[in-house]
Structure 1
């Protein structure tokens, strides 16, 4: 049985994430630009066109949206350029077991806010551990960010093992994440998207720690997309579980630009069908075996829930 006291931190963190996102727009895109230059050499690999064994190959194909997916031998993907993963092997068998907080899941309503080339707007789940200097985190959700994926709402992740100092990146722009799914790549376009006062569409995302290997797995639409190997993290960080789970929205724009909208571009007070929301959020704590997912008990001084949902978003336009 999970005590309500233990769950106050994850729930308030979800609400705090929105606040932090609004105040975080003073940051510069210089960090992202440097990261892109640093990553170009690593990611400039020739695609291996091998279709003999589709289990071990990401097929070359063009999606209905025009995206080109090249085929790369699963054992030669960028993840294994990481020095800690030189002798790593692909792992498909997964058992869910971990003490402390070792997993979380959530459903996000999918929206497609308008952004300029220097802005982004996203909704994501964050799992984190560690002090400021040793902060380690994994984030996953949808994002509209032209620098990363052109326009439209797409699947993304971001991870770090040292507070964003030397490690971490979006998606697979640096060594680390091991992709195992040939159906759901990073950057896949979400569609259709939710309509204001109309149909609502969701994506379900789960991140959990394998009790045998310690790897952190990403699951999207009930499919194992891949994992961040436990060797990327320290025992003081995500190598020994997580202490923070947060859900919410985030936007970014340069200081002199008006901020983009978040979610549906409408305030949380408008509620279901009109505001963006997260729902079905669950966390995993304690020594439990198969699929140990339990509902989160919500605590808030200003509750605004729809079937255990948290609404977020707004029109932006702030400078």
Structure 2
């Protein structure tokens, strides 16, 4: 780039900055105050090779303890239960466990601290509202449905079909089960890095979703992997958590971007990039993931990998989930302002970007699916349903011929999804 072009670009940036300041859109005092709230003092700092900064923070100075209800909370070091996670004998030998995070190659956190991904000024400058930084978009229910019901399976309760409401800002492909005494759910989530369009508002997930409560104020716990450029600043596949107690309206957040989740594992960072990822017809990598309620403490524990739990959501945060979950979902979600818009649909991908029919080695999957009830035993749900509200864009297939495997995903816009 020549010198005149560089000067011109610099001038454009300066004018843009001055325009933003004049219109009140950039308030660095407010941004810096938010950064001070989010980033706790570090005992040690690790510069990851992928650009992340990981702060090792005293376990009792993490964001959870900003919550007034947790003022006198004593950290539960480990859950009181021990659930044995048996692997299927039909497991494909080419699948490999993924618990590696990129930052781990650059250092480790000392005992008594937990790793927290540092939030930087540029992260807050990307969002429309600093107050909603790190939260999911509010769910907007559509007045009409574009769901292809021939590819969905819904339960009948009191002779009424229970159909999830179509949402304006997201498309889903999920396996789900209903009940009243779920206190845990697990699955091995196949890891990919799907391409998104250039729209910063878009993100995609592959996850486990535990919910309870009425639709307008439901409580939920979520975890899995995501590609979310607007939140994380890049297009890497990252391990995430999320929670809410009022349907994303004003509570909860991703990872440790608010006061809720109590992190206990010094080796795992929420929001950090995971590696390696699966390749088409190549090695298939997966994350064993479980969300379990401790029946003694009522805390909901997150288990990432086969060994040490990552941390927990305190039971005191919840009104409905302080007893059990009534709904569990496994699968993919794609968030975009351009889903369900004829002739303007997003090209953002879900899963591997291949349809579920591509099967093992090409399509994203979740296997070793199980729930836990008060018997504290892992088992496949007695009943499961499926839901895909844009089957020509993002499809699903629940293979129960041998060991159950749930496939899902798709490319978004294509000749059958415009």
Q: Please indicate, yes or no, whether the TM-score normalized by the shorter chain is above 0.5.
A: yes
Is the aligned partner of 1:304 residue 2:407? no
Q: Is the 8 A contact 2:78 2:309 kept in 1?
A: no
Is the aligned partner of 1:72 residue 2:157? no
**Following the alignment from structure 1 to structure 2, what is the Cα–Cα distance between the partners of residues 133 and 125?**
20
Aligned residues: 270
- Counterpart of 1:316 in structure 2 is 412
Q: Secondary structure at the match of 2:331?
A: strand
**Following the alignment from structure 1 to structure 2, what is the Cα–Cα distance between the partners of residues 242 and 39?**
37
**Following the alignment from structure 2 to structure 1, what is the Cα–Cα distance between the partners of residues 371 and 185?**
4
**Following the alignment from structure 2 to structure 1, what is the Cα–Cα distance between the partners of residues 273 and 53?**
12
Q: Is the 8 A contact 2:240 2:271 kept in 1?
A: yes
CA pair 280-78 structure 1, distance change in 2 beyond 3 A = same
**Following the alignment from structure 1 to structure 2, what is the Cα–Cα distance between the partners of residues 39 and 130?**
34
TM-score for the superposition, normalised by structure 1: 0.78
Q: Secondary structure at the match of 1:72?
A: strand
Among 169, 186, 206, which residue is 1:123 paired with?
206
**Following the alignment from structure 1 to structure 2, what is the Cα–Cα distance between the partners of residues 251 and 86?**
36
- Counterpart of 1:20 in structure 2 is none
- Counterpart of 1:155 in structure 2 is 239
Q: Is the 8 A contact 1:43 1:78 kept in 2?
A: no
**Following the alignment from structure 1 to structure 2, what is the Cα–Cα distance between the partners of residues 78 and 43?**
12
CA shift, 1:228, in A, is 0.5
Q: After superposition, what is the alpha-carbon deviation per residue over 1:106-132, rounded to whole angstroms, capped at 9, x for unaligned?
A: 111100011232211110100010012
Q: Is the 8 A contact 1:216 1:228 kept in 2?
A: yes
Point out the structure with max Rg over C-alpha: 2
- Counterpart of 1:245 in structure 2 is 328
- Counterpart of 1:91 in structure 2 is 76
- Counterpart of 1:294 in structure 2 is 379
**Following the alignment from structure 1 to structure 2, what is the Cα–Cα distance between the partners of residues 40 and 280?**
44
CA shift, 1:308, in A, is 1.1
CA shift, 1:38, in A, is 9.6
Q: Secondary structure at the match of 1:213?
A: coil
Q: After superposition, what is the alpha-carbon deviation per residue over 1:124-179, rounded to whole angstroms, capped at 9, x for unaligned?
A: 10001001233100010000001122221000111111222221111111110111
TM-score for the superposition, normalised by structure 2: 0.60
Q: Is the 8 A contact 2:212 2:326 kept in 1?
A: yes
Q: Secondary structure at the match of 1:263?
A: coil
- Counterpart of 1:44 in structure 2 is 36
CA shift, 1:182, in A, is 1.3
After superposition, the CA RMSD in angstroms is 2.5
